[in-house]
């Protein structure tokens, strides 16, 4: 199994009554580890337990009362956090063995980045792909994508591209769910799509060519222009690519699901 992740980093000010705790947590964490807490953070042996013991003493609370978070700081020095460790985490969506196509619609090609792994002698190689954007920008893209779908479906219904029509309808429904989720966050929050474990099944040399974001936007663009055969062909190509990735991961043809973490 391989997990992909969608995470919303919210401004620390929007955590309201917990803001003081998170500021104390971050201040101690940065001094202790000399860096931010991210999904790529690694601990060895008893390092994390020792950190929690030191943090517990610093804050004057029991270890069981400690709450953790991922956090980042922008160029202006403002902090953004993702609380972690909760049973149902509203800041995180995860998907098994694939990435839902509607997730790609929130981003642009220019927002693609890489996590890197050191391979020795100063060399690095891409370890995973991620996209990074403001929630207010992703919300606008979802709205535009829904408008494009509605325009296409008005004409597609009478045509023969039923697979395309069914896919667009499903995308539209799923985007409504994403919009509802994002509406609960400050628009200044930012969202990260992390391919995470999925990239363990993509050749490092192929990562630079992985561009599902542009490909799904192209499907909607062609459909909106009434080029339904081209749109369906582009959709089939994208679907086939992700079917192959999923088949490599699972070794079978089982369907995958996405859930709130």
Per-residue three-class SS string for the chain: CCEEEEEEEEEHHHHHHHHHHHHHHHHHHHHHHCCCCCCCCCCCCCHHHHHHHHHHHHHCCCHHHCCEEEEEECCCCCEEEEEECCCCCCCEEEEECCCCHHHHCCCCHHHEEEEEEEEECCEEEEEEEEEEEEHHHHHHHHHHHHHHHHHHHHHHCCCCCHHHHHHHHHHHHHHHHHHHHHCCCCCCCEEEEECHHHHHHCCHHHHHHCCHHHHHHHHHHHHHCCCHHHHHHHHHHHHHHHHHHHHHHHCCCCCCCEEEC
pLDDT value, residue 115: 79
pLDDT of 251 above 90: no
pLDDT value, residue 259: 40
Give the CA distances from residue 2 to residues 105, 195, 250, 257, in Å, rounded to whole numbers and listed in that order.
21, 9, 9, 12
pLDDT value, residue 205: 77
Whole-number average pLDDT of the chain: 88
Counted domains in the chain = 2
Per-residue pLDDT tens digits for 136-170: 999 999 999 999 999 899 888 655 678 899 999 99
pLDDT above 70 covers a percentage of the chain that reads 88
Q: What's the predicted TM-score (pTM) here?
A: 0.88
- Calculate mean pLDDT across residues 39-46: 71
d(C-alpha 194, C-alpha 143), whole Å: 22
Q: Are residues 9 and 112 in the same domain?
A: no
pLDDT value, residue 125: 58
Domain end point (choices 61, 93, 125): 93
Q: Are residues 57 and 112 in the same domain?
A: no
pLDDT of 252 above 50: yes
Round the CA-based radius of gyration of the chain to a whole number and report it.
21
Per-residue pLDDT tens digits for 203-229: 877 888 999 999 999 999 999 898 999
Q: Are residues 63 and 134 in the same domain?
A: no
Q: Are residues 141 and 35 in the same domain?
A: no
pLDDT of 70 above 70: yes
Q: Are residues 217 and 88 in the same domain?
A: no
pLDDT above 90 covers a percentage of the chain that reads 68
pLDDT of 96 above 70: yes
pLDDT of 256 above 70: no
Q: Are residues 75 and 141 in the same domain?
A: no
| Model confidence band, residue 253 (pLDDT cutoffs 50, 70, 90) | low
pLDDT value, residue 163: 86
Closest CA to 28 of 65, 9, 7, 53: 53
Domain of 121 in residue numbering reads as 99-260
Q: Are residues 80 and 143 in the same domain?
A: no
Q: Are residues 105 and 35 in the same domain?
A: no
Q: Are residues 41 and 85 in the same domain?
A: yes
d(C-alpha 8, C-alpha 135), whole Å: 8
> Which residues, including other chains, have CB under 8 Å from residue 107's CB and lie 6 or more apart?
131, 133, 138, 141, 193, 213
- Specify the range with the lowest mean pLDDT, choosing from 44-53, 77-86, 184-193, 232-241: 44-53
């Amino acid at each position: 199994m391989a997990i992909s992740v969608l995470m919303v980093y919210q401004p620390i000010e929007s955590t309201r009554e917990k803001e003081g705790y998170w500021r104390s947590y971050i201040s101690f964490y940065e001094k202790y580890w000399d860096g931010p807490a991210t999904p790529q953070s690694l601990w060895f042996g008893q390092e994390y337990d020792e950190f929690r013991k030191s943090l517990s003493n610093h804050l004057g609370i029991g270890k069981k009362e400690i709450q953790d978070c991922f956090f980042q700081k922008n160029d202006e020095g403002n902090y953004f956090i993702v609380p972690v460790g909760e049973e149902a985490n509203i800041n995180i969506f995860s998907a098994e063995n694939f990435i839902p196509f509607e997730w790609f619609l929130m981003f642009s090609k220019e927002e693609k980045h890489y996590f890197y792994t050191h391979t020795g002698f100063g060399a690095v190689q891409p370890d995973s792909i991620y996209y990074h954007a403001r929630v207010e920008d992703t919300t606008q893209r979802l709205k535009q994508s829904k408008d494009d779908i509605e325009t296409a479906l008005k004409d597609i219904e009478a045509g023969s591209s039923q697979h395309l029509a069914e896919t667009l309808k499903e995308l539209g429904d799923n985007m409504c769910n994403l919009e509802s989720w994002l509406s609960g966050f400050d628009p200044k929050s930012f969202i990260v799509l992390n391919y995470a474990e999925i990239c363990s099944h993509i050749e490092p040399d192929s990562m630079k060519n992985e561009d599902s974001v542009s490909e799904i936007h192209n499907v909607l663009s062609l459909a909106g222009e009434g080029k339904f055969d081209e749109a369906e062909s582009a959709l089939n190509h994208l679907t086939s690519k992700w079917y192959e990735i999923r088949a490599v991961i699972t070794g079978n043809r089982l369907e995958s699901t996405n859930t709130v973490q």
